[in-house]
Amino acid sequence: MKSQIESRAVSLLRASRAMVRRAGSMAGQTAPPMGSVRFGSLRRTTPIAGSFGYGRGGTRIGRHYVNQFIQAHATDIKGRVLEIGDNHVTKAFGGDHVTQSDVLHAEAGNPLATVVGDLATGEGVPVGVYDCIVLTQVVQCVYDIRAAIKHTCAALKPGGVVLMTTLGLGQISRYDADRWGDYWRLSAQAAERLFGEHWPDEAVEVQTYGNVLAATAFMHGLSLEELTQEEINYHDPDYPIIVAVRAQRPVDS
């Protein structure tokens, strides 16, 4: 039964491909009349897989978008680099360009941590020492998000770069919520303003990833391989699964 439900849901998602392909010219078209839309197996109040697709197999949609952004800016991951929780991204994308890899954790006891510090308070976070800070899927779990951005910016050297990703749309991470919290979903405007409080507009680049079909699949925990490349690569700024920021500290700051 479960496999039949999942199969029907995937079929319905694929049936929406034409709508995604025409998304750029939909504004002047008439939507299907009320009552004519067929939800199929998506007419349910629980997700098909849930947990962001962990355990389903295949590639998680959110992670794909995060990696796509990081890959586009991999040359920024060099010199002394700070990452939060572990240094998976630093090692995977920085390689030999990284001269020192630091891992920050808020509490002592993480065997991977080289720095014990709190982005929200700034306590224990070095100031003005990093060439790059990798901040993937972190800030949504920090209640004082403005302070976290402030201390991130302060930790960079002049000319240093922060690569940040966070959720624009998405379920609550129950794992995070039960431990330290899951507080925020950001718009591109919010991300731009958070960094704009510290640096000029030209120092901050914001990009969004996702569309309504990809977001539907993401919410149900479906995998990247269940969508076509065309469907996954179309990005609608009104339906951002991932909001990504590349921000560079001005050299003269």
Q: What is the pLDDT of residue 100?
A: 98
Residue 224 CA to residue 176 CA, distance in Å, equals 23
Q: What is the mean pLDDT of residues 141-157?
A: 98
**Close Cβ partners of 246 (under 8 Å, ≥ 6 residues apart):** 73, 76, 161, 162, 163, 204, 205, 207
In the chain, what percentage of residues exceed pLDDT 90? 77
**What pLDDT sits at residue 17?**
55
In angstroms, the CA 137 to CA 174 distance is 14
Return the domain boundaries, the chain.
62-218+235-248
Residue-wise pLDDT for 73-82, tens only, equals 999 999 999 9
Rounded average pLDDT over 214-232? 96
Q: Quick check: 61 pLDDT over 70? A: yes
Sequence letter at residue 181: G
Q: Categorize the per-residue pLDDT at 9 as very low, low, confident or very high, splitting at 50, 70 and 90.
A: low
pLDDT: which is higher, 28 or 161: 161
Please report which confidence band the pLDDT of residue 24 belongs to, taking 50, 70 and 90 as the band edges. Answer: very low
Residue 2 has pLDDT above 60, yes or no: no
Question: For the residues 105-133, what does the mean pLDDT come to?
Answer: 94
pLDDT above 80 for 32 = yes
Distance CA 186, CA 166 (A): 7
The proportion of the chain whose per-residue pLDDT surpasses 70, expressed as a percent, equals 89
d(CA 107, CA 150) in angstroms, rounded, equals 20
* In the predicted structure, residue 25 carries a pLDDT above the cut 50: no
Whether pTM > 0.85 for this model: the answer is: yes
Identify the CATH assignment for 62-218+235-248 out of 3.30.565.10, 3.40.50.150, 3.40.50.2300, 3.90.800.10.
3.40.50.150
Burial class (CB in 10 A: 0-12, 13-18, 19+), 19: middle
pLDDT classification of 56: cutoffs 50, 70, 90 = confident
- The pLDDT of 159-187, averaged and rounded, is 96
Predicted local confidence at residue 132, as pLDDT: 98
pLDDT exceeds 80 at position 16: no
Confidence of residue 5 (pLDDT cuts 50, 70, 90): low
Residue 28 pLDDT > 80: no
If pLDDT is split at 50, 70 and 90, which confidence band does 47 have? Answer: very high
